[in-house]
């Protein structure tokens, strides 16, 4: 059971918008930055968002991040079939003194 | 080109030991904090361990504390994970990842550790 809760799956049509939620607590999301990762099948994860809403160079602005209280959200607009992947949120947990990941959300672009 | 390459994975019997390595190239390894993250077959990501650039701060996940030891060698530009008392629950692909949690900005391709008799 993950410390951070994500929906197991989301889906949307090409060109549409989707959001993925990540719920935590005051010991993790509530007091620490959140990052988001994309993992395509058979590959290593890739950093999409850091510090709640910052994009590394090379990540298109179709990807966005936000945080409110003890929850964070990843937004994707203009969905493409190439966006089909597993998405993970991550943060630090001060009670555990450990980094924690969400359970992952499988995005399907119908 | 920045690159992280893991090695040392393989098949090991329960109770056995294994040492993973992660070779860094294309960036100044000595100034970066490093991590190990694992992924069991068909499962999600699990952070395993963190070591600061100067090796003065180290953290472990509760699931590996007391069994795994992280270390680094700046002269060899390498990160290591010594894994002892392995069990089936440790079967996973192990990734090395650069950065301070939760911002892991560069990852290796991973090395598979399988614990089975």
pLDDT in tens, A23-61: 999 999 999 999 999 999 999 999 999 999 999 999 999
Contacts of B42 in chain A (CB under 8 A): none
Nearest CA in chain A to B104: A47
In this prediction, residue A2 carries a pLDDT of 87
With CA atoms as reference, report the closest residue to B47 among B101, B6, B89, B3.
Answer: B101
Contact A45 B110 (CB under 8 A): no
Sort B103 into a burial class: Cβ within 10 Å, 0-12 / 13-18 / 19+: buried
Contacts of A102 in chain B (CB under 8 A): 44
With CA atoms as reference, report the closest residue to A64 among A34, A44, A106, A94.
Answer: A34
| Residue B64 near residue B50 (C-beta atoms within 8 A) | no
Contact B105 A56 (CB under 8 A): yes
In this prediction, residue B49 carries a pLDDT of 98
CB nearest A34 (choices: B97, B102, B109): B102
Contact B104 A101 (CB under 8 A): no
Residue environment code for B59-79, b if the CB has 16+ CB neighbours within 10 A, otherwise e: bbbeebeeebbbebeeeebbb
A24 and chain B in contact, CB less than 8 A: no
Contact A103 B44 (CB under 8 A): yes
Look at phi and psi of residue B77 and say left if phi exceeds 0, alpha if psi is from -120 to 50, else beta.
Answer: left
DSSP secondary structure string for all residues of A38-107: EE-TTS--EEEEBTTTB--TT--TTEEEEEETTEEEEEE-S--GGG-EEEEEEEEETTTTEEEEB--EEE
B94 and chain A in contact, CB less than 8 A: no
Q: Which residues pair with B96 in a beta bridge?
A: B36
Mean pLDDT, chain B, integer: 98
In this prediction, residue A1 carries a pLDDT of 78
CB atoms within 10 A of CB B28: 10
Q: Which residues pair with A64 in a beta bridge?
A: A75
CB nearest B47 (choices: A39, A46, A98): A98
CA A91 to chain B, closest CA, distance in angstroms equals 5
Mean pLDDT, chain A, integer: 97
Q: For B59-111, how does the pLDDT look when each residue is reduced to its tens digit (9 = 90+)?
A: 999 999 999 999 999 999 999 999 999 999 999 999 999 999 999 999 999 99
- How far, in Å, CA of A72 to CA of A87, rounded? 13
Contact A33 B102 (CB under 8 A): yes
In this prediction, residue A89 carries a pLDDT of 98
| Residue B2 near residue B27 (C-beta atoms within 8 A) | yes
Residue B18 host element (H or E)? strand B18-25
B104, two tokens = 């892991």
């Amino acid at each position: 059971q993950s410390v951070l809760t994500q929906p197991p799956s989301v889906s949307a049509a090409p060109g549409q918008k989707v959001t993925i939620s990540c719920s935590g607590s005051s010991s993790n999301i509530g007091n620490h930055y959140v990052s988001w990762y994309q993992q395509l099948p058979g590959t290593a994860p890739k950093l999409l968002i850091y510090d709640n809403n910052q994009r590394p160079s090379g990540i298109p602005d179709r990807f966005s991040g936000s945080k409110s209280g003890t929850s964070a959200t990843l937004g994707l607009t203009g969905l493409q079939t190439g966006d089909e992947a597993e998405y993970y949120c991550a943060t630090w947990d001060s009670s555990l003194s450990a980094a924690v990941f969400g359970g992952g959300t499988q995005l399907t672009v119908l | 080109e920045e690159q992280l390459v893991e090695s040392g994975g393989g098949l090991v019997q329960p109770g056995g030991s294994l040492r993973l390595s992660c070779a860094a190239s294309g960036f100044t390894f000595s100034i970066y904090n490093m991590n190990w993250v694992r992924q069991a077959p068909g499962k999600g990501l699990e952070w395993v361990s963190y070591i600061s650039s100067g090796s003065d701060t180290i953290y472990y996940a509760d699931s590996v504390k007391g069994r795994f030891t992280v270390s680094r060698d700046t002269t060899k530009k390498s990160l290591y994970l010594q894994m002892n008392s392995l069990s089936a629950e440790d079967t996973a692909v192990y990734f090395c990842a650069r950065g301070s949690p939760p911002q892991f900005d560069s990852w290796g391709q991973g090395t598979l550790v399988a614990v089975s008799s």
